[in-house]
Amino acid sequence: MLRPFALHRPATVAEASEILAQEGRDAALYAGGTELLVILKEGLLRVKSLVDVKRLPGLADIRADDGHLLIGATATHRTVEHAPEVHARCPLIARVARHVANVRVRSVGTVGGNLAFADPHSDLATVFLLFDAKVRLSARAGERELALGDFVVGPYETSRRDEEILTSVRLLPWPAGTAGAYVKYGLHERPTLGVAVALTVAGGAVRGARIAVGCVGPRPQRLAGAEGRLGGWSLADVERRAEEVGAEAAAAVDAVDDLHGSAEYKRDMTRVFVRRALLVAAGRAAGRESHERHPHTVVV
Amino acid sequence: MRVERDLDVTASPERLWAVLWDVPRMVACLPGCTEAREVEPQKHYEAHMSQRVGPISLSVPMQVTIVDVEPPGSLALEAKGRDGSLGASVAMSVRLVVAPRGGGSRLRVEAEGKILGKLGALGHGVIQRRAEELIDEFGVRLKRVVEG
Amino acid sequence: MSVIPIRSSSSVRCTVNGRPVALEVRPEALLLDVLRDRLELKGARRSCDMQVCGACTVLVDGAPVSACTYLAVEVDGREVTTVEGLADGDRLHPLQEAFIDHGAVQCGFCTAGMLLTAKALLAEDPSPTSERVAEYLRGSLCRCTGYRKILDAILACATPKVAAG
């Protein structure tokens, strides 16, 4: 049972922003409600109003935008999973969306809601880091764009101002010759660890590497030191030495103790899964698909 | 959750000890802690603790009790309270040890705490890290008070 | 711009298992409570109450949702399917027959959610692999059967893939 609230259904971003400005913390933005309704039910949050953003025009759009892929904030994970534009430009994202939470959450939960709630255990927030993601925040006063890493600042903490609405996220597709993978591991409803990697290969050597690790700490992170190691490596080098990169990632990652495991455990799993993800990506760069299976692991 | 920190200040151990014993002032160095007041000198105090994690706000009236004193160096206190609307109980034990160090002094903070209730379970991963950040900031503010 | 003020009701017009339904609901009313308490459809169950277990699954416009974490106002203008809508009078749905034939029901608590999720899967992918069934049903929990017979029952309802050539 939920405590009573009013339900606003603004027709424009300006109206929505106005309501938020007036009601402050007594109002909560509402799209799919997959996180919001749970914390309301738990009594962890009390609000007087919900501001439904699903009727705001254009927010569910998924389209190309000046070489980028634009995903509207109210696009559901399910929509992203099936969208031809996502498959064409950022296919890894479509595949990751297919594995978010469970099918019921994917039917209803939105990309914008996922990013704005900033749950540390977010698959999308992790993989989006590999695509130079930028979120658009809109309010009565105007709009601004923030890099995802500047938007998600801590666990459940974003730099969204009270009267702002996250309206879209923009992603930069990878250059040709890039192969990627997302590997997630966990026994619980939310993953214990999510590793996203991408290798850009040209002339037989790695020209660019991207590694992001999520779920183990306050927010997902790119690991620049580990990425740098791979520069100039051949694919054979990657397969032989992925362990070293895993070890460097484990040393660099910011991990916290929680009910998923100790920080030490998570660092160790980071070492293991960065290596595994790199092997999958390297295999794909060579035109091979990995069929390795590991317990409680999803290879995307 | 458990946090241990060492804080070095340029002031003398006596000065540091005196500031610690101004319990309302000392407690007010903890971010989110307000309305700190004395109820029974050197024994009971009250304060209000507010913390926010994302959309969730914790607001706890705290009862602080000095449970052990070994002058000139060591002070232990317990703080307890409950946020009725979240159904969350907070219980902390803090030991503060003052020792001379170089020309100044070192404060050792050992804090152990629990948050019980839904927030404790759901917030588990956040609480340890937040406690560390709070104690670090406590150290920065206390240092300013002691040295200023 | 519209608002449903606090403690006011709004009209929801939808179909439930093919039949038109009109209700006045408050903004905070959860679909599960409306189905169970006002429409007397008890097949969907409140179990974890945080959308991780699947016992409350219903279909809204064919898509599985957790009724425990879904506002009733959202079904306005839509089609809701509950487990009670699977059988056609006395004739059980092929999935229901398969569950019985394969022994995929023990206590029955998860069954409604399993059936509806399976129905949604087969509508989207009539010939899923065993792996795809397991993947799609991730998040529908069963404490009794160990899942094997549930998977077998669903696969038994899949359209066989015709081998090429």
CATH of the domain at A78: 3.30.465.10
Q: What is the CATH number of the domain that holds B58?
A: 3.30.530.20
- Are the C-beta atoms of B105 and B93 separated by less than 8 Å? no
Q: What are the two backbone dihedrals, phi and then psi, of residue A275, each rounded to the nearest 5 degrees?
A: -60, -50
Residue A229 sits in the same domain as residue A213: yes
> Is pLDDT at B5 greater than 80 in this prediction?
yes
Q: What is the pLDDT of residues C60-69, one digit of tens each?
A: 999 999 999 9
List the structure tokens of A3. Answer: 């405590």
CA triple C56-C57-C62, angle to 5 deg? 155
Q: Do A37 and C139 touch (CB under 8 A)?
A: no
| Touching subunits for chain A (3+ Cβ pairs under 8 A) | B, C
Q: How many domains does chain A have?
A: 3
pLDDT > 70: what percent of chain A? 100
Q: What is this structure's pTM?
A: 0.94
Residue A132 sits in the same domain as residue A40: no
- Residues of A in CB contact (< 8 Å) with B are 25, 28, 39, 42-46, 117-118, 120, 155-158, 218, 256-260
List the structure tokens of A191. Answer: 């993953």
Averaged confidence pLDDT in chain C = 96
Q: Is C102 helix (H, G, I), strand (E, B) or coil?
A: coil
Q: Which domain holds residue B143?
A: 2-147
Q: What is the pLDDT of residue C3?
A: 97
Q: What is the pLDDT of residue A211?
A: 98
Choose the mutation target among C7, C51, C142 for the interface with A, i.e. most A CBs under 10 Å.
Answer: C51
Residue A29 sits in the same domain as residue A85: no
Averaged confidence pLDDT in chain A = 96
Q: Which domain holds residue A17?
A: 6-52
> Is pLDDT at C165 greater than 60 in this prediction?
no
Q: What mean pLDDT do residues A167-189 have? A: 96
Question: Where do the domains of chain C lie?
Answer: 10-85, 94-156
Q: What mean pLDDT do residues B120-144 have? A: 87
Q: What is the pLDDT of residues C57-101, one digit of tens each?
A: 999 999 999 999 999 999 999 999 999 999 999 999 999 999 999
Provide the pLDDT confidence category of residue B148 given band limits of 50, 70 and 90. confident
Residue A200 sits in the same domain as residue A149: no
Q: What is the pLDDT of residues A162-174, one digit of tens each?
A: 999 999 999 999 9
- CA-based nearest residue in chain A for residue B126: A155
Beta strands in A10-149, from DSSP E residues, in sequence order? 27-30, 49-52, 62-65, 68-72, 134-139, 142-147
**Residues of chain A found within 8 Å of residue C3, distances taken between Cβ atoms:** 6-9
Q: What is the pLDDT of residue A62?
A: 98
Residue A161 sits in the same domain as residue A183: no
> Is pLDDT at B94 greater than 60 in this prediction?
yes
Q: What's the distance, CA A240 to chain centroid?
A: 29
Q: Do A43 and B87 touch (CB under 8 A)?
A: yes
- Residues of A in CB contact (< 8 Å) with C are 1-12, 15, 33-34, 37-38, 41-42, 48-50, 78, 99, 101-105, 107-108, 189
Q: Do A34 and C5 touch (CB under 8 A)?
A: no
> Is pLDDT at B17 greater than 70 in this prediction?
yes
Q: How many domains does chain B have?
A: 1
Q: Which of A25-39, A220-234, B131-145 has the lowest mean pLDDT?
A: B131-145
Q: What mean pLDDT do residues A177-195 have? A: 95
Choose the mutation target among A3, A5, A7 for the interface with C, i.e. most C CBs under 10 Å.
Answer: A7
Q: Topology of domain C94-156, per CATH?
A: DNA polymerase; domain 1 (1.10.150)
**Residues of chain A found within 8 Å of residue C120, distances taken between Cβ atoms:** 103
Closest partner residue to A33 (CB to CB) among C3, C69, C137 is: C69
Residue A183 sits in the same domain as residue A257: yes
Distance in Å, alpha carbon of A299 to nearest chain C alpha carbon: 12
Averaged confidence pLDDT in chain B = 91
Strand order in the sheet with A193-202: A221-222, A205-214, A193-202, A178-185, A297-299
Q: Give the C-alpha separation, B103 to B108, whole Å.
A: 16
CA triple A276-A279-A283, angle to 5 deg? 145
The string of DSSP letters for A186-205 reads -SSSS-SEEEEEEEEEETTE
CA triple A150-A152-A157, angle to 5 deg? 130
Residue A121 sits in the same domain as residue A190: no
Q: What mean pLDDT do residues A44-56 have? A: 96
- Are the C-beta atoms of C35 and C44 separated by less than 8 Å? yes
Choose the mutation target among B59, B122, B130, B134 for the interface with A, i.e. most A CBs under 10 Å.
Answer: B122
Question: H or E element: which one contains A280?
Answer: helix A263-285
Residue A137 sits in the same domain as residue A48: no
Closest partner residue to B129 (CB to CB) among A28, A43, A218 is: A218
User: Which of A136, A171, A206 is the last residue in one of the domains?
Assistant: A171
pLDDT > 90: what percent of chain B? 65
CATH number of C10-85: 3.10.20.30
Q: Which of B20-24, C47-51, C55-59 has the lowest mean pLDDT?
A: B20-24
Q: What is the pLDDT of residue A59?
A: 97
Q: What is the pLDDT of residue C163?
A: 61
**DSSP code, position A25:** G
Distance in Å, alpha carbon of C141 to nearest chain A alpha carbon: 11
Q: What is the pLDDT of residue B117?
A: 85
Q: What is the pLDDT of residue B127?
A: 86
Q: What is the pLDDT of residue C164?
A: 58
Strand order in the sheet with A142-147: A62-65, A68-72, A165-171, A134-139, A142-147
Q: What is the pLDDT of residue B27?
A: 85
> Is pLDDT at A258 greater than 90 in this prediction?
no
Q: Rounded to whole angstroms, what are the CA distances from C45 to B82, C55, C153, C163?
A: 33, 5, 22, 40
Distance in Å, alpha carbon of A227 to nearest chain C alpha carbon: 31
Position A274 in a domain: yes
Position A1 in a domain: no
Q: Give the C-alpha separation, A83 to A79, whole Å.
A: 6
> Is pLDDT at B124 greater than 80 in this prediction?
no
